[in-house]
Amino acid sequence: MDNPKFSLIGTGFIFSRHIQAIQSIGGEIIDIVNDKRGQYDWSAMVETTKANYISILTPNDLHFQMIEKAHSKEKIVLCEKPICILPEDFKYLKGYDNVFTVLQLRYHPLVKEIEVKDFNEIEIDISVYRDKNYYNSWKGDSKRSGGILYNLGVHYFDLLIYLFGNVKKIDEVKISEKEASGIIRGDKFICKFYLTTNAKQNQQRRIFKINGRYFNFSSQDNLSFEDLHKFVYEDLIRGKGIRPMDINDLMFLIEAIKEYAG
């Protein structure tokens, strides 16, 4: 599409990455809405915008209602991860083919280096630093963020399923506000995972150990600094990308981990 037009809802931390990505594909931004302009302005904007695309960059608990509104106006929607945080909401989204989500780790250059064998032994160590400001924001409220599994783990569980296939069994799960661990088994793999936001700032890592080989996807403060959003937008304007139907197994896994932990 020549000169694709975008409207953006949300101007938080990730906003600049979307601006850069849209500019990189030659897109035009015609609306930007944030909470300082009023709680309901986003809805009015969706009603009247001339944009072809709507990008949703808001707190996680708002994603579903915004997707529903944009879908009703027949817009193409790109929503930051997670696409939603309630399984009952996801049931509605699964049938939408005009809705896409951001799981940019699939585009990481290291993915092409990973050799998938008939059976794979995997360890996931996602250790990041998050300060008091993080936990004093909506991200520290599990009812708004979905907790550590949705707010942090979603990228890495998605990559696990994307590369190695569906999950068959979950064991030894432990979850707290700032940590989660457990064992995930599939037909082609066994995976021990560990997520934490308690790492020291100079010791952050996002590591997959696969059959003895280490892949560190980032040691930066946030995965967005890997500059992968441009690939998400390139696929979006080609009519490709990650639709709700493509992450059914991911959403099922996160809910199964939560259920196991009680």
Does the predicted TM-score (pTM) go above 0.85?
yes
Answer for the pair 189, 182: CB distance below 8 angstroms, yes or no.
Answer: no
56 lies in the same domain as 69: yes
CATH of the domain at 130: 3.30.360.10
- The CA distances from residue 73 to 37, 68, 136, in Å, are 21, 9, 35
128 lies in the same domain as 255: yes
CATH of the domain at 84: 3.40.50.720
pLDDT, residue 248, reads: 97
52 lies in the same domain as 128: no
Other Cβ atoms less than 10 A from the Cβ of 41: the count is 15
Q: Report CA 230 to chain centroid distance, whole Å.
A: 15
Query: Hey, CA dihedral for 96, 101, 103, 108, is it positive or negative?
Result: positive
215 lies in the same domain as 232: no
132 lies in the same domain as 172: yes
pLDDT, residue 183, reads: 98
Answer for the pair 66, 58: CB distance below 8 angstroms, yes or no.
Answer: yes
pLDDT, residue 226, reads: 84
159 lies in the same domain as 236: no
Domain span including residue 56: 5-102+227-243
H/E element, 2: none
Whether the ω angle into residue 4 lies within 30 degrees of 0, i.e. cis, is no
129 lies in the same domain as 255: yes
255 lies in the same domain as 126: yes
216 lies in the same domain as 118: yes
196 lies in the same domain as 119: yes
pLDDT, residue 36, reads: 59
- The CA distances from residue 113 to 210, 230, 249, in Å, are 11, 20, 24
**Nearest Cα to Cα of residue 53 among 35, 36, 28:** 28
DSSP3 helix / strand / coil % (the chain, rounded to 5):
45, 25, 30
Per-run averaged pLDDT (10 residues), the chain, 262 residues: 88 93 96 71 92 96 96 97 97 95 97 97 97 94 96 97 96 96 97 97 96 96 89 96 97 96 84
Structural domain tally of the chain? 2
Q: Is 203 helix (H, G, I), strand (E, B) or coil?
A: helix
212 lies in the same domain as 182: yes
43 lies in the same domain as 163: no
pLDDT, residue 39, reads: 56
Other Cβ atoms less than 10 A from the Cβ of 176: the count is 12
